[in-house]
Structure 1
């Protein structure tokens, strides 16, 4: 998926920042402050702060990798360069197949806001979830330039509205809501951190878009730095006001509660718009990255050839891989609906995959990046990623099993190809 000189990337710093911001900020800001507060109370702020600190070396590590190795395979490419084909196949399969499983979770966060605003309960949530997935699939079908342009507008609107939510909520802060600070002990902080991995995933998927930049060596680092600054302000602001203003009355739509409490009930439809835009932006980034990852894996023979047949034919948009991701997301939505489960039922499985991907990606960075601060950042990121995997717990076993299945499949395919080459054609 690395473009040849005749096909330079089209993303600049602003578009790259918009895609990165959507991937990292994503849907976490509209739902996870509430989930983390339920898990740890006011001490959830410790988990937010800790993960923001971890994000500094983590973002620097993936920015350095993307700048040095611009390729659609992203983390799978880094794993192949550092550890060989088996490692690349394992992490590539796990990551690619996690996106369809995680898409309904992300879309479901926005769907809960829509249901809160217009009613309809579970039916509304399921329909909106499916609708968001379809819209994002169409955006990506039209190409990275179109989806990135839309993303830039979405990012500007989101940043402004989230800043408004923080500012209008600050006068209602009650420090009494910060006590008791540790209602569930430090184990609650660990549980909150495991949930919040979702909020800080995104640095890894943007690496799959590195080949789409006009100047990866320069622009990826700039886009990453701008994103990190904005994410820090917005995440800490929303997390703090959720705890200090709403206290124990946090619903599944905390952003709506904050704005409605400060500005009146008319603000709920506004937050619904914000939630939908955030969700579209986040899933857009993941679909763009995952489709390129799937095509890159196919080009190396570690996924079915059909996934990249359109790329081999000259297309710049991996529509076959995109179709698999989108249809997989719709199928997951349907299964969750039939089973009567909430749309966030697969949250921990998805965050477990992100944590696993971080471990492999940062371990590869330790080997691939030069000494000095890049390797130091990679080492710190690797240690933090291992902690995240431990906090995730058994949920990480599913992506490991998925990756091992990919290793077995690609190994069987390779052996069959080797036997075919050894056979002597008739008449020779």
Structure 2
């Protein structure tokens, strides 16, 4: 099997399962925390910050849809970079992506473990629970074909349904208690200042690009699934921002849904929000492990990683899933002994995603010479450069990744084009 032809592996996701899988990749722990933090800082203007970030995500989404529909591959963003610029760029993007995944996903698992601990009590440590969540997500990601589709419908459908139901009920109760109370935005600079904080919640479209080859007829279905997922994700984010505003939460801004429930539905069971957090993060880990295992498969086919990782069993890259699980558990262990910390993991992961967006947008220009490509690249690259330069450690971290990619390429660890 090579990176251009993966016939044993392709084409099992229909539109509905594809939408749910992409949604699980995007929706994570951010929705349980960030709406409250933004509301604490800028009050009622917070909902406009979420609207602005939704609009800013559109060019990134369009870039990934155009590339994924035209060039479906398990390699995703790394494959697009190879087509546009050659094997060095392929390796650079692959390292950036794996760096983002191996830093971001363990941090999400640790957040999920904190919610799980609220359900079962403090007897089991956070890091052990995070490891168990990773193992559960990896177990669900092992099958292929229709079995994987059933897992997607079960995990993604149940978590999304629970989230939407909770938000709708709480929002209706909040409106009955307090009215609507929205007004025009007052401070545009404050709204713009919250976008970097919110942006991490909108990352994941580049992860979803690695799933394009999983779709039936990806030239049509992948784009539809991405846009439908985008509408669902934006609706949920804006709905959560509206909830904390209408409920007018007064405290516990780092657990806004819990606080909104305490104010507008005091008789609601306290474990409900914890269950919501666990289900969301478990689904997010599951979808992400599925997607990341695809680039591991791709890199193995390209002989960048060991060939054994490209082994398929019943159309599923099981060895790749095992590799991803082991990698994430190692990072959780590093956090446990203090070698890394969760804030640093989130920050560096977000900067990696921005660098990937920039390279992907420029690759689109190279591959699809059109006015639309140039406009998308301008809109994506400009803000990304400014955000990366504003973070003190990000340029040096990305430069180090580029140097490692160069040394690996020089030592002939990549395959020929």
TM-score by length of 2: 0.86
Instruction: Map 1:87-166; keep pairs closer than 5 Å.
Output: 87-120=89-122, 124-143=125-144, 145-166=146-167
Please report how far the alpha carbon of residue 330 of structure 1 lies from its aligned counterpart in structure 2 after TM superposition: 1.2
Alignment check: 8 A CA contact 1:117 1:268 kept: no
Q: Give the aligned partner of residue 423 of structure 1.
A: none
Q: Distance in 1 between matches of 2:49 and 2:366?
A: 29
> Which region of structure 1 is more displaced relative to structure 2, 291-300 or 346-355?
291-300
Please report how far the alpha carbon of residue 243 of structure 1 lies from its aligned counterpart in structure 2 after TM superposition: 4.1
Q: Give the aligned partner of residue 425 of structure 1.
A: none
Instruction: Map 1:357-372; keep pairs closer than 5 Å.
Output: 357-372=356-371
Three-state SS of the structure 2 residue aligned to 1:267 is coil
Q: Distance in 2 between matches of 1:337 and 1:390?
A: 30
TM-score by length of 1: 0.84
> Which region of structure 1 is more displaced relative to structure 2, 370-379 or 150-159?
370-379
Alignment check: 8 A CA contact 1:147 1:284 kept: no
Three-state SS of the structure 1 residue aligned to 2:73 is coil
Q: Distance in 2 between matches of 1:244 and 1:391?
A: 33
Q: Give the aligned partner of residue 348 of structure 1.
A: 347
Equivalent residue in structure 2 for 1:13, among 3, 15, 36: 15
1:62 and 2:61 are equivalent in the alignment: no
Q: Give the aligned partner of residue 259 of structure 1.
A: 261
Q: Structure 1 residues 4, 330: closer, same or farther in 2, change over 3 A?
A: closer
Three-state SS of the structure 2 residue aligned to 1:398 is helix
> Which region of structure 1 is more displaced relative to structure 2, 229-238 or 22-31?
22-31
Equivalent residue in structure 1 for 2:243, among 216, 241, 250: 241
- RMSD over aligned Cα atoms: 3.2
Q: Distance in 1 between matches of 2:7 and 2:413?
A: 31
Q: Structure 1 residues 230, 117: closer, same or farther in 2, change over 3 A?
A: same
Please report how far the alpha carbon of residue 399 of structure 1 lies from its aligned counterpart in structure 2 after TM superposition: 4.3
Please report how far the alpha carbon of residue 101 of structure 1 lies from its aligned counterpart in structure 2 after TM superposition: 1.6
Alignment check: 8 A CA contact 1:46 1:189 kept: no
Please report how far the alpha carbon of residue 309 of structure 1 lies from its aligned counterpart in structure 2 after TM superposition: 2.1
Alignment check: 8 A CA contact 1:165 1:258 kept: no
Please report how far the alpha carbon of residue 376 of structure 1 lies from its aligned counterpart in structure 2 after TM superposition: 3.4
Q: Distance in 2 between matches of 1:341 and 1:82?
A: 35
Q: Distance in 1 between matches of 2:185 and 2:373?
A: 40
Q: Distance in 1 between matches of 2:101 and 2:364?
A: 23
Unpaired runs of at least 5, structure 2: none
Q: Distance in 2 between matches of 1:7 and 1:353?
A: 28
Please report how far the alpha carbon of residue 317 of structure 1 lies from its aligned counterpart in structure 2 after TM superposition: 2.8
Three-state SS of the structure 1 residue aligned to 2:411 is helix
Q: Give the aligned partner of residue 275 of structure 2.
A: 273
Q: Distance in 2 between matches of 1:175 and 1:391?
A: 37
Alignment check: 8 A CA contact 2:76 2:211 kept: yes
Alignment check: 8 A CA contact 2:300 2:310 kept: no
Q: Distance in 1 between matches of 2:313 and 2:160?
A: 37
Please report how far the alpha carbon of residue 210 of structure 1 lies from its aligned counterpart in structure 2 after TM superposition: 0.8
Q: Structure 1 residues 400, 91: closer, same or farther in 2, change over 3 A?
A: farther
Instruction: Map 1:242-321; keep pairs closer than 5 Å.
Output: 242-264=244-266, 266-301=268-303, 303-304=304-305, 306=306, 308-311=307-310, 316-321=315-320
Alignment check: 8 A CA contact 1:333 1:343 kept: no
1:225 and 2:231 are equivalent in the alignment: no
Three-state SS of the structure 2 residue aligned to 1:70 is coil
Equivalent residue in structure 2 for 1:81, among 80, 83, 106: 83
Q: Give the aligned partner of residue 337 of structure 2.
A: 338
Q: Distance in 2 between matches of 1:396 and 1:84?
A: 23
Q: Give the aligned partner of residue 395 of structure 1.
A: 394
> Which region of structure 1 is more displaced relative to structure 2, 348-357 or 36-45?
36-45
List per-residue Cα deviations over 1:361-382 (Å, max 9, x = no partner). Answer: 1111122235254553344233
State how many pairs are aligned: 410
List per-residue Cα deviations over 1:14-73 (Å, max 9, x = no partner). Answer: 111011111122332122223444565554434322210012222122111111000111
Please report how far the alpha carbon of residue 310 of structure 1 lies from its aligned counterpart in structure 2 after TM superposition: 4.3
1:324 and 2:323 are equivalent in the alignment: yes
Q: Distance in 1 between matches of 2:147 and 2:391?
A: 36
Please report how far the alpha carbon of residue 286 of structure 1 lies from its aligned counterpart in structure 2 after TM superposition: 1.7
